[in-house]
Structure 1
């Protein structure tokens, strides 16, 4: 994973729950492309058609609230979302995102949909073209390492491989 993560903003408000991130009717599969095709469908039915790889979601408070479904961060990741920045995250969504390798940062960012932003997870900063730099919560090194490795499973495989040497 390269830092900073640079992408175009998709703006959402507060209390974006897992039911709008990936509606329950699409959970009867393990096909990541199905999840991707229906990402954010509950709030923007056209999102999956419009989002481009590398785009970044910027949201308000309590992003990912609701159920503990791991499919919510998977839907965003496989739709091409490179990072989610929000004022705050539901704790289970936060951990699920890290586990599946979806970068995120807690930060109160002032921007508009379509702005280009740079998210620097190493520094805990978000830079918005023409609007400045916003401080965020820097992730602990062990979580950054897990994200860099591609998520929890990939990280554990890497550790096991290193231990066998």
Structure 2
């Protein structure tokens, strides 16, 4: 079980909605065809406007031109991350792009549930406005057991709200995999 998540930060603003995370025009790709699945990664965060930290963020792209995978594995965002429609494609697109954790002040409830239930990424909450304290490109280290995020670039550590069983569910691969692992439902 990986209890340390390390990677570069990609910082976003508040009220990032699911259509900004994966615009509706990109929902045509199959979720089971490997050649089409990677396109969810390619277009992840492609709808975020520049004033919310979207593309281009300065000259920093979340997904490099010609790639389907991001160099940024930790999203730092303001309040109400994942608001909008209830599409499961949003946390799925972030996972395909390589995101392992999201740290936001708060989440839209349905996005948070989709993120956990699908085992897509760890959704941490922070009482502090980390999107005002961390910059895109900063190297971060999340310690899941200590519920901390350390900015290795500035050498400052922040406290995160405890995850409870959320980490175990995401680590298992989603709610159904977790239930099978814990013998809460029949094995298949």
**Does TM-score exceed 0.5, indicating one fold?**
yes
Give 1 or 2: higher helix fraction. 1
Give the corresponding residue for 1:147.
Answer: 170
Poorly superposed stretches of 4+, deviation over 4 Å: 160-164
Report the Cα distance in structure 2 between the residues aligned to 1:106 and 1:144, rounded to whole angstroms. Answer: 13
Identify the range of structure 1 (13-22 vs 81-90) with the bigger mean alpha-carbon deviation: 81-90
Question: Superposition pairs for residues 80-159 of structure 1, below 5 Å?
Answer: 80-101=98-119, 102-107=121-126, 108=128, 109=130, 110-129=133-152, 130-140=154-164, 142-159=165-182
For normalisation by structure 1, the TM-score amounts to 0.88
Query: 2:118–2:173: 8 Å Cα contact kept in structure 1?
Result: yes
The offset of 1:106, in angstroms, is 0.5
Q: Number of matched residues? A: 162
The offset of 1:3, in angstroms, is 1.6
Q: Can you give the 5+ residue segments of structure 1 that lack an aligned partner in the other structure? A: none
The Cα RMSD (Å) is 2.1
Give the corresponding residue for 1:22.
Answer: 22
For normalisation by structure 2, the TM-score amounts to 0.78
